[in-house]
């Protein structure tokens, strides 16, 4: 059983107010399942090309992206002549495959973090204590989604390392080569972003679990979007 299925099972135990939000998030994917079957998509590049995240994204946007990206990560590559950018050298094509896998993992991490943040936005202040039960359930969901994001980042790093082993440059993939460099310099580092968010979440949870007996933690209120490239 993969990690996403395990998280779905855990979500079934949540209270109704939070369950309604979580159910909406995952039921949206059932709609896209029918769409994928109707279009008979097959290749990684086809699923990847369905990714789109508007500046003012919604829960539905995130669910749609996560659904297609999960398919993209597992799908086979199109024939080399149908690559996003055709590579004339065999080693450049092998690097292309690692770069695209790296990018898909990066986008999965990003969208899971954005999804988690939608459940992790309750400030640890006294006037929220009346809603502690629901907030704690919401934080439980957020923690699970951050953990999925971290697993996807580990996959991203594995593909980054594989791509790094090729010295050749690809053709037409400057944006992925730049992404590779940003991971190398840690300008893009989701492990750092996720651990920062988990630290804040656990401080908030301790406050709500104590029913206000612990001092309210002073947290950086900056959205995770500010740390994501």
Using alpha carbons, select from 168, 154, 40, 11 the residue that is nearest to residue 97. 168
Handedness of CA 15, 17, 22, 28 (dihedral sign): positive
| Residue whose tokens read 């939000």 | 21
Q: Residue 80 in contact with residue 163, Cβ under 8 Å?
A: no
Listing DSSP states for 6-60 in one string gives HHHHHHTTS-HHHHHHHHHHHHHHHHHHHHHHHHT--BHHHHHTT----SS--HH
- Enter the pTM of the model: 0.79
> CA-CA distance, 135 to 175, in Å (whole number)?
39
Output the pLDDT for position 199.
92
Is 63 buried (19+), middle (13-18) or exposed (0-12) by CB count in 10 A? buried
pLDDT in tens, the chain (229 residues): 454 444 443 443 444 444 445 555 555 555 555 554 545 889 999 999 999 999 999 999 999 999 999 999 999 999 999 999 999 899 999 999 999 999 999 999 999 999 999 998 888 878 888 888 888 999 999 999 999 999 999 999 999 999 999 988 888 889 999 999 999 999 999 999 999 999 999 988 888 888 877 766 666 656 555 555 5
């Amino acid at each position: 059983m993969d990690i996403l299925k395990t998280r779905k099972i855990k979500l079934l135990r949540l209270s109704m107010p939070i369950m309604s939000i979580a159910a909406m998030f995952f039921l949206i994917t059932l709609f896209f399942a029918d769409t994928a079957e109707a279009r008979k998509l097959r290749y990684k590049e086809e699923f990847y090309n369905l990714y789109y995240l508007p500046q003012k994204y919604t829960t539905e946007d995130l669910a749609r992206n996560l659904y297609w990206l999960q398919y993209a990560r597992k799908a086979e590559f199109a024939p080399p002549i149908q690559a996003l950018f055709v590579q004339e050298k065999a080693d450049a094509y092998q690097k292309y495959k690692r770069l695209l896998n790296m990018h898909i993992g990066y986008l999965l991490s990003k969208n899971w973090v954005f999804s988690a943040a939608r459940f992790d936005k309750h400030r640890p202040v006294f006037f929220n204590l009346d809603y502690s039960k629901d907030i704690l359930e919401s934080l439980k969901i957020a923690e699970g989604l951050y953990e999925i994001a971290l697993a996807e980042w580990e996959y991203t790093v594995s593909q980054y390392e594989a791509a790094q082993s090729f010295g050749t440059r690809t053709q037409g993939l400057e944006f992925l080569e730049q992404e590779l460099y940003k991971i190398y310099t840690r300008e893009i580092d989701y492990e750092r972003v996720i651990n920062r968010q988990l630290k804040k979440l656990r401080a908030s949870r301790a406050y709500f679990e104590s029913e206000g007996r612990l001092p309210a933690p002073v947290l950086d209120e900056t959205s995770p979007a500010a740390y994501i490239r």
